[in-house]
Amino acid sequence: MGLSWQQGPLSSGAIGRFLVPEPLPGRLLYVERLRRRMRVQFGGNWIADSENVVLLFEPGRYPVAYFPETDVAPHVLERSDHTTRHPDLGPTSWYGVRSSEQHVAARGAWQHTGLPAYAGELQARVAFAWRTMDAFYEEDERIVGHAADPYHRIDIRQASRNLVVRHADRVIADTRRPLVLYESGFAPRWYVPRDDIDVSALTPVKLQTFCPYKGLCSYYSIGEARQAAWSYPEAYPEVRRISNLVSFEPEIVAVHLDGTRLHLEPGQSVVPHGPDRNLDVAEIVRE
């Protein structure tokens, strides 16, 4: 499962608990080696290339990749006067990142410079601001949105249960062959084949978002119910089964499963976290 966000075990909204006799600290940080080759591209050049990246998980944030200084290209990092203080890891120095005279990112990287003894795994390591770099790769495949969380899992299952979607007095969908998608930190999401939907009820909206695990997402309104449904027209290969199917938001329209209306439990709404949450969707389209 995702460790540190939504309802993961290190998040503030965790749905489980650690079975320990004493209360745990309010903030738990976790770090581990990624065990994948990761590269950073900026200004058309590879500025970092490492098989020794570590991921930092902290509450309410996507995992952040830290590269050894020795795996960063020479003369790329330019120390700045800007410093901040991390609540758990202490003083943090910021760098400009220079790929060429034309490609400079102010505050494009940072390093924790006064680490407590218990956080030695981050010593002499640098993290790059996701939005300011051109792209991040694992081997030769681009990773979009944020560093991939190895504990984030998606399972898709075929069901024969009766799923009915209504808005006002209109039946929008009625199926006995939905797919249910289970994703770490989220409520189960039910996807319906378009043949079982009154597609005339769906009005496309301009909004598009992307998920690092599922791909580019399009949205629909149903009457006055804005963004009541969504679809991944070409979902990533790992979740191809939901491509072009439609899922409905049970807090906006009435979704009944075997006669019981579905509601999201507290904490299960989609909440964006991390400095990379506003990446331009156009980047995904170009990919």
Residue 61, pLDDT score: 86
The amino acid at residue 220 is Y
For residues 256 and 267, what is the distance between their CA atoms, to the nearest angstrom?
Answer: 21
Checking if the pLDDT of 184 tops 90, the result is no
* Nearest-5° Cα angle at 64, 18 to 23: 20
Q: What pLDDT is attached to residue 277?
A: 42
Q: Which of 272, 214, 265 is nearest to 243 (CA)?
A: 214
Give the pLDDT score at 279: 53
Cα gap 209→153, rounded to integer Å? 20
CA-based end-to-end distance of the chain: 27
Is the overall model pTM greater than 0.75, yes or no?
Answer: yes
Condensed to tens digits (0 to 9), the pLDDT of residues 78-98 reads 999 999 999 999 999 999 999
Share in percent of the chain as helix, strand, coil (round to 5): 10, 45, 45
pLDDT digits 0-9 by tens, 111-152:
999 999 999 999 999 999 988 999 999 999 988 878 888 899
Lowest mean pLDDT, pick from 1-5, 38-42, 110-114, 124-128: 1-5
For the chain, domains (ranges, CATH) are 30-143 (2.170.150.40), 154-286 (2.170.150.40)
275 pLDDT band, cuts 50/70/90, is very low
Please check the confidence at residue 258 and state whether its pLDDT lies above 90: yes
Give the separation between CA 178 and CA 176, rounded to whole angstroms.
6
pLDDT band at 283 (very low <50, low <70, confident <90, very high): low
Average pLDDT over residues 265-271: 69
Question: Strands, DSSP E only, in 184-240?
Answer: 189-192, 203-211, 215-222, 225-231
Q: How far apart are the C-alpha atoms of 131 and 283, rounded to whole Å?
A: 11
